[in-house]
């Protein structure tokens, strides 16, 4: 049994979890505190859960119940109330209404069993009906267990969709190679890249690295399922303007992710704001390991002799097709730090080759006066010679943490 519990009362959550585990130790409960995490996304139907337990805390209950039961296909809702009269909750479509006292009775387990049966029938019908099959189609690929909500973006060779995963019990981003490949070798190559990205992320398993859930091939389309970030990427936050301390906090989290990556023998090779996503709590997560170099694998997924990356964020050695190591990713992080502080890139030009030239030949630009205390850090990050940079991500992180403490102390002193 898998349940979603929407409740802001920690004590009540503990009571419900203890009660359920006493009867069903294998049951899974995902707890969501609406005060801290906000309401459920409008597109979410909880199809991966057998039931949703919703409390009526802080006067939010009936309004939230009305929203959930109005969503066609939403999981059965068991409404837990402190009110004496359950009539209105039932009229709004609750599968069952229980008082808090009834959690301690057999009525609780009967309501759960009934909801589980109803959801099982509804899930089976959805999976096999023509309408349900249509919602599991992503372009030309039929992918069982995922409900397509909408297309988020279209790239040169793949589309990115917002979907609901039955297995994950969450909204996910699903990347599908768009066009049917005429040459099976091309499909195999794409799948190998997805497979390497999946294996890299699974091996790292760091809080500041994206979660990848699944991958496969369906109808001659390779696909990859990953964590969905409704807050978007770091570019959005940078356009709104970032103060120095939040910028450094973000950079510290990215540096920690690089520590884990480099320790696992992986270079990102395309570190840029568009590949730093933001979770609901504001914490960053690195994505897009499709161009990463995994020194632990013999198979290289990029073509020899080509330069991969984004010119604005590439180290001088990467831009010139020279051998690179972890210090190249550290250079890219330095570019991001500079841009977070100034809202400008350190080197800009009209074409990519001119940008690459500037990275190697032009001096490191000066930070504006309010940030001049951070100039030595920027100089180390953006040193032309890798020997003059921070030599590893841990060293870079320590420098960022020291700068953060300095700014915090200065702010408190004023």
270 is catalytic: yes
Distance CA 386, CA 409 (A): 31
pLDDT given for residue 74 in this prediction: 96
- DSSP letter, residue 269: S
> CA 384: distance to chain centroid?
33
pLDDT given for residue 273 in this prediction: 96
**Spatial CB neighbours of 296, under 8 Å, sequence gap ≥ 6:** 264, 265, 266
Alpha helices, H only, 9-85: 10-23, 34-37, 61-69
Q: Are 45 and 73 in contact, with CB atoms under 8 Å apart?
A: yes
pLDDT given for residue 323 in this prediction: 92
pLDDT digits (tens, 9 = 90+) for 201-249: 888 889 999 999 999 988 888 899 999 999 999 999 998 889 999 999 9
| Tally of CA atoms within 13 A in the half-sphere of 161 that contains its CB | 26
Which of these, 289, 258, 278, 284, lies nearest to 396 by C-alpha position? 258
pLDDT range class, residue 288, cuts 50, 70, 90: confident
CB atoms within 10 A of CB 281: 8
Q: What are phi and psi of 135, to 5 degrees?
A: -75, -10
What DSSP letter does each residue of 101-149 carry, written as one string? GGGGSHHHHHHHHHHHHHHHHHHHHHHHSHHHHHHTEETTEE-TTEEEE
Distance CA 73, CA 122 (A): 8
pLDDT range class, residue 293, cuts 50, 70, 90: low
Q: Which helix (H) or strand (E) holds 89?
A: helix 87-91
In the chain, the domains with their CATH numbers are 2-128 (3.40.50.2300), 136-227 (3.30.200.20), 234-413 (1.10.510.10)
pLDDT given for residue 410 in this prediction: 80
pLDDT digits (tens, 9 = 90+) for 36-79: 888 899 999 999 999 999 988 665 678 889 999 999 999 999 99
pLDDT range class, residue 35, cuts 50, 70, 90: confident
Distance CA 271, CA 256 (A): 14
pLDDT given for residue 188 in this prediction: 66
**Spatial CB neighbours of 388, under 8 Å, sequence gap ≥ 6:** 380
Q: What are phi and psi of 221, to 5 degrees?
A: -125, 125
Q: Is the pLDDT of residue 298 over 50?
A: no
Over residues 178-198, mean pLDDT: 68
* Distance linking the first and last C-alpha atoms of the chain: 55
Distance CA 147, CA 165 (A): 7
**Spatial CB neighbours of 241, under 8 Å, sequence gap ≥ 6:** 343
pLDDT digits (tens, 9 = 90+) for 111-139: 999 999 999 999 999 888 999 999 999 98
pLDDT range class, residue 89, cuts 50, 70, 90: confident
Q: Could you say which of 159, 233, 270, 288 is catalytic?
A: 270
Distance CA 221, CA 141 (A): 6
Percentage of residues in the chain having pLDDT higher than 70: 91
Q: Which of 56-60, 109-113, 310-314, 392-396 has the lowest mean pLDDT?
A: 56-60
pLDDT range class, residue 184, cuts 50, 70, 90: low
pLDDT range class, residue 384, cuts 50, 70, 90: very high
Give SS3 for 401.
helix
Over residues 274-296, mean pLDDT: 82
Q: What is the pTM of this model?
A: 0.84
pLDDT given for residue 241 in this prediction: 85
pLDDT range class, residue 392, cuts 50, 70, 90: very high
Average pLDDT, the chain: 89
Going from the C-alpha of 43 to that of each of 29, 50, 67, 269, 374, the distances in angstroms are 21, 18, 11, 34, 43
pLDDT digits (tens, 9 = 90+) for 98-108: 988 999 999 99
pLDDT range class, residue 182, cuts 50, 70, 90: low
- CA angle 279/76/43 to nearest 5° reads 35
Which of these, 409, 351, 413, 406, lies nearest to 377 by C-alpha position? 406
Q: Which of 172-181, 231-240, 277-286, 352-361 has the lowest mean pLDDT?
A: 172-181
pLDDT digits (tens, 9 = 90+) for 371-381: 999 999 999 99
pLDDT given for residue 306 in this prediction: 47
Q: Is the pLDDT of residue 308 over 70?
A: no
pLDDT given for residue 400 in this prediction: 97
Over residues 172-181, mean pLDDT: 79
């Amino acid at each position: 049994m898998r349940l979603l519990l929407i409740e802001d009362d920690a004590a009540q959550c503990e009571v419900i979890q203890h009660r359920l585990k006493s009867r069903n130790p294998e049951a899974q409960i995902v707890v969501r505190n609406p005060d801290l995490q906000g309401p459920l996304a409008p597109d979410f139907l909880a199809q991966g859960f057998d039931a949703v337990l919703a409390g009526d805390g802080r006067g939010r209950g009936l309004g939230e119940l009305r929203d959930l039961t109005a969503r066609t296909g939403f999981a059965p809702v068991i409404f837990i109330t402190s009110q004496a009269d359950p009539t209105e909750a039932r009229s709004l479509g609750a599968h069952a209404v229980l008082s808090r006292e009834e959690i301690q009775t057999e009525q609780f387990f009967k309501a759960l069993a009934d909801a589980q049966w109803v959801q099982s029938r509804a899930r089976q019908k959805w999976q096999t009906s023509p309408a349900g099959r249509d919602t599991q189609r992503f372009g030309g690929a039929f992918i069982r267990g995922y409900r397509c909500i909408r297309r988020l973006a279209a790239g040169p060779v793949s589309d990115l969709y917002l979907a609901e995963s039955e297995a994950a019990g969450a909204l996910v981003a699903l990347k599908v190679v768009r066009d049917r490949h005429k040459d099976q070798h091309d499909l195999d190559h794409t799948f190998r890249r997805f497979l390497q990205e999946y294996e890299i992320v699974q091996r790292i398993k760091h809080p500041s690295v994206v979660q990848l859930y699944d991958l496969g091939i369906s109808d001659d389309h390779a696909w990859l399922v990953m964590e969905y970030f409704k807050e978007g990427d770091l570019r959005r936050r940078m356009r709104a303007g970032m103060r120095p301390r939040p910028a450094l906090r973000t950079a510290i989290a990215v540096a920690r992710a690089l520590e884990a990556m480099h320790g696992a023998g992986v270079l990102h090779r395309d570190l840029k704001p568009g590949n730093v996503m933001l979770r609901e709590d504001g914490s960053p997560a690195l994505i897009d390991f499709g161009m990463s170099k995994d020194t632990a694998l013999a198979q290289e997924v990029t073509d020899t002799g080509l330069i991969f990356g984004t010119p604005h964020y590439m180290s001088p050695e990467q831009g010139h097709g020279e051998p690179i190591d972890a210090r190249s990713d550290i250079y890219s992080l330095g570019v991001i730090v500079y841009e977070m502080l100034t809202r400008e890139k350190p080197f800009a030009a009209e074409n990519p080759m001119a940008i690459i030239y500037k990275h190697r030949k032009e001096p490191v630009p000066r930070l504006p006066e309010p940030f001049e205390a951070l100039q030595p850090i920027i100089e180390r990050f953006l040193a032309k010679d890798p020997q003059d940079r921070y030599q590893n991500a841990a060293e870079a992180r320590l420098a960022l943490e020291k700068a953060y403490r300095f700014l915090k102390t200065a702010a408190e002193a004023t």
